[in-house]
Chains A and B, each alone.
Chain A
Amino acid sequence: MISSLPPAAPFMLGALLLPFLRGHVRRAVMLALPVLAFINLIHLPTGDSWTLSFLGQELVLARIDRLSLVFGYIFILIGLITTIYALHVEETVQNVSGMLYTGSALGVVFAGDFFTFFIFWELLTVFCVQLIWARRTRQSMGAGFRYLMFHVAGGLILLAGIVLRVHHTGSIEFGLIGLDGPGSHLIFLGLGINCAWPLLHTWLSDAYPEATITGTIFLSAFTTKTAVYALARAYPGTEALIWIGAAMAGFPIFFAVIENDLRRVLAYSLINQVGFMVCGIGIGTQLAINGAVAHAFNDILFKGLLFMTMGAVMYRTGKINATDIGGLYRTMPLTCIFCIVGAASISAFPLFSGFVSKSMVMDAAGSGHMRWIWFILLFASAGVFHHAGIKIPYFAFFSHDSGLRPKEAPPHMLLAMGITAFLCIFIGSFPQYLYSMLPYQPVGYEPYTVPHVVAQLQILFFSALAFALLLLSGIYPAEIRCVNLDADWFYRKGARLFYGAMDRCFNRLNQVCDQWLARGLTGAVNRFCRNAPARVSSWFLLPFHRLVKAGDGNPRSLGQSIQEAFDKGVIPVGLSAAVSGLFLVLLFFLK
């Protein structure tokens, strides 16, 4: 007997109520939804429930196991935190989309079959785009459209893969897939697009910084992490993922160093962090998968926290470029402290959350003797401290005094950031609670060994030394207002080229067709039809006319007068009668 709803239902149904509510009531309902969803989730039995029969197949709306549960918990938690953070937003589109987006993420994570999975997967894109467009700037409109195009293409690739796969196996169950045929490769690629793999990552660094202040917090939590979940479910231990993950962890930090928009810096570091997860999934040992999942859990919190602090800065100053802000610690001290907590967590400082999860992936790579992967990940660890750990707090809150003296963030934002900061420190200090939620038990990993702590502190402090020396010596790249090209150049400029080429090709074709067919041929037919009665009449009448007025009449003048009569619609009765009579005679003979 089922007494609970499917995990996504509280958010999906609740969101439909929101447009009818106003003010405090709406806010109360929005806060209640994550709580209800959580209560609902813990009452769902382990295993498959909410199975529906559909076209001879079985849909599973609630597959509860350790892997889906840990993602479910963190999605609901960040849904609650983001709702608190966004309490000042009373805009129906944003409120509803945020809830539906959270619901869709839960739908993906608890889907036990391809059909349900795909539907929620596509809904993620739809509601995510609403949160980008809600900013209502020209840039956000463009970024939203590019996001939509990218993800629709990704969705179609995924769908093609699913169709091939289902055709091949005859089952729509979504579980372990592994790379073993064209269908599985297409699904792999489709998931990879949402996971922001290298070269497929540009939608993320393009769109996330353009979304609304509160929308970005939702965005940073769901799309990439549902893809991480799907990869952990379907492709654990796939070797390609190790290298893809290492590349993801490595390359974005170079872009982050020269980027001026601080939310875009965070978007690049989001790709870098997801790289650690993807790498862990690729390594595929129990430790590595546990590490990847734990890191996804922590990343949702500390990346959310960093985006929240930057959002608070934007909310108070209206600016986000490093060139425009700086020195804000003076009047936003709490936001500054929360930002430093987030920065310490993402940099994996001991006692902060990143430390207890990132090191699991590093350790798994070390245990597998993957020396190059290990070197890249270590480089990425140092790099992330450099660009997210130091650059974000330093340029926003210290650095040059911008002269801005904004007010501290509003209380609800401080509350949301405070809760998240507390969780970052709590998980970092007492990792056993997080470890007890991980898919493979017992976890059996101890992050707090003396050599590990000393090694990690050395790498962080000496990275900081490099930052300090480079900054003092003036080598550190100055913040410059600019656009940095990325792989999106190919479609942003390429699309323009394509547009130009299509314009030349098809509009020329159009022109030719217009000239020859629309104006030429149709015109001729038109003229013919218009003139036909007069012509036919004159052909018939001309011989008679000649007979009657042999010699003295001008045959052309008859044609002209008939034409004139038809144009004006004043055909003599006699003429009409003659034509009709001739027609009858013609019919008689033809018969």
Chain B
Amino acid sequence: MHPKSPDEKTYLFDKPKNVKRVFLFFYSALVLLLIAEFFVHKHPHFPWEGWWGFYAVYGFVACVLLVLVAKYILRPLVKRGEDYYD
């Protein structure tokens, strides 16, 4: 955080309360989506699409794997100094 001059306006997310609200909305959306799935009649192409929470788990696991692979495998392999090609 940069030090603010006292007369500067406070913006939307400068208040921790607003950030908390966003997260509250976000977490309740997650729960609602999982609950909603009980009431959905599916027409899957593949059997696993019918499993409860398949998309939620896949999305979460995919992104965690993506970040871990990018950070711990790809970055050490390809990271070079900014002037590498100069």
A residues apposed to B, CB below 8 Å: 142, 253-255, 257-258, 329-330, 363, 366-367, 369, 371, 374, 378-379, 382-383, 386, 398, 400-403, 449-451, 454-468, 470, 475-477, 480-486, 492-493
Contacts and interface: CB of A to CB of B under 8 A. Distances in A.
A374 B33 contact: no
A254 B66 contact: yes
A482 B79 contact: yes
Contacts of A476: 67, 71
Main secondary structure of the interface of B (DSSP, over half): helix
A252 to B, nearest CB: 11
A258 B29 contact: no
A371 B49 CA distance: 11
A470 B64 contact: yes
Contact of A383 (B33, B62, B75): B62
Nearest to A457: B33
A321 to B, nearest CB: 10
Interface string B62-82: 111011111100110111111
Which of B33, B53, B67, B83 has the largest number of chain A CB atoms within 10 A? B67
A485 B75 CA distance: 9
A369 B45 contact: yes
Nearest to A397: B13
A454 B37 contact: yes
A-B CB proximity, top 5 nearest: A366-B45, A466-B63, A459-B59, A403-B2, A257-B70
B59 A458 contact: yes
Contacts of A492: 85
Contacts of B13: 329, 398
B12 A386 contact: no
Given A383-B66, A482-B80, A400 B1 contact: yes
Interface string B16-35: 00000001001001100110
B55 A455 contact: yes
Given A258-B70, A258-B74, 11 more contacts: A255-B78, A363-B45, A401-B1, A450-B40, A459-B55, A461-B30, A463-B63, A470-B63, A477-B67, A480-B79, A483-B81
Contact of A382 (B23, B36, B58): B58
Given A461-B29, A461-B33, A451 B42 contact: yes
A466 B62 CA distance: 9
B74 A458 contact: no
Contact of A483 (B30, B55, B85): B85
Contacts of A455: 49, 55
Nearest to B65: A379
A54 B76 CA distance: 56
B63 to A, nearest CB: 4
A485 B30 contact: no
Nearest to A330: B11
Given A451-B41, A451-B42, A477-B67, A484 B62 contact: no
A454 B33 contact: yes
23 contacts: A258-B75, A367-B45, A378-B62, A379-B58, A401-B1, A402-B2, A454-B37, A456-B55, A457-B33, A458-B34, A458-B37, A461-B33, A463-B59, A465-B30, A466-B64, A466-B67, A470-B63, A476-B67, A482-B82, A483-B83, A483-B84, A484-B79, A485-B77
